[in-house]
Amino acid sequence: MQTSLTPNLKPFHTFAISQTCSNVVEIHSIEQLIEIYQSLLEAKQAVLFLGKGSNVLFTDHFDGTVLLNRLMGIEVVEGEEHWQLHINGGEDWPTIVEWSIKQGYAGLENLALIPGCSGSAPIQNIGAYGVEFQDVCEYVDILCLDSWKVKRLSKLECKFGYRDSIFKHELYQKAIVVAVGLKLAKYWKPNIAYGPLKSLDESDVPVTAKEIFNRVCSIRMSKLPDPNRQGNAGSFFKNPMVERNKFEDLQAQYPDIVGYSSGDKVKLAAGWLIDQCGLKGHQVGGAMVHPQQALVIVNQGEATSKDVIELAAYVKQKVWEKYQVELEHEVRFIGSDGETNLTQILESRK
């Protein structure tokens, strides 16, 4: 059954910025998803399938229907060496991680408190503290929008990369993630090689998944604003990848620059770059670079999408002027008829 809700999108994305759309519908089953999606396509209406809205900025009135992912359910299979978890796409990711730790299924603890639903996790290949979604993924189930059949992709077929996957490229707007399969080793080893987790290794007592979970939660809560109290979409910009010689040139000028080797390139800390430009606390209208975490843009309460766009453009410009490093936003921009980006918006205003 179709459930129509208020066309105001403010409650459905964590930036909590007032924006409108033609209609909002909750989706509780794949059958319902197929029926409604097909009817909207036949009516030639724009469609957006939305999870928790934790990585979205609505830049304009969306002239179409927003389908809210409410595909719920978890199944667990125990093998000799692994726990295999089948999780439907609408499940809340932070809740899944906390639940898995309580159940004794270690392996997700480094990914604690990353906002969003399970169905969004493979699209972004979410990651934190030395672990990415691809490290625990066994498969991803998708609904193909050409055949209306559910297909299972292996981890390899998902073509995971840094905050990247096949769902942003070949399968963009051609498939919907309806479930994920996770494979967690029973003979678990802690991953504490990343930054603030290293101190856990100082104890003589073996580190537990619960301890890592608690530490990650503590760090994230101290560094990142709670979207329930202050609207935001988490890390606004990706950490840029640069050639190694570019990093060496920057390092010669700025010895304290933060970078991590990633194959033959170096991943720069976008937050550090923004901070060094003196942009913490910089504000445009109701949008502000968070005073403690430069990677986050927050809604001070009355921000508009225009405020966020102008602030993001200013941050990008200042980082380029100082370092000649191009920042790319991690947050998805949704315009009047679908996804757009900061470059396209700025070009359209010229």
- Is position 330 annotated as part of the catalytic site? yes
Token pair, residue 318, equals 């200042």
User: What is the three-class DSSP state of 227?
Assistant: coil
Instruction: Please check whether residue 277 is in contact with residue 253, taking contact to mean a CB–CB distance below 8 angstroms.
Output: no
Buried b / exposed e over 109-140, threshold 16 CB at 10 Å, is bbbbbbbbbbbbbbbbbbbbbebbbbbbbbbb
* CA atoms of 118 and 95, how far apart (whole Å): 10
Instruction: Please check whether residue 298 is in contact with residue 12, taking contact to mean a CB–CB distance below 8 angstroms.
Output: no
* CA atoms of 7 and 10, how far apart (whole Å): 9
- Is position 332 annotated as part of the catalytic site? no
Q: Which of 163, 215, 220, 332 is catalytic?
A: 163
Q: Which of 26, 138, 328, 330 is catalytic?
A: 330
Measured in residues, the chain has a length of 350
Q: Which of 100, 165, 235, 305 is catalytic?
A: 235
- Is position 336 annotated as part of the catalytic site? no
Sign of the Cα pseudo-torsion (329, 89, 94, 288, in order): positive
Instruction: List, edge to edge, every strand of the sheet that includes 56-58.
Output: 56-58, 332-334, 339-340
Residues with a catalytic annotation lie at 163, 235, 330
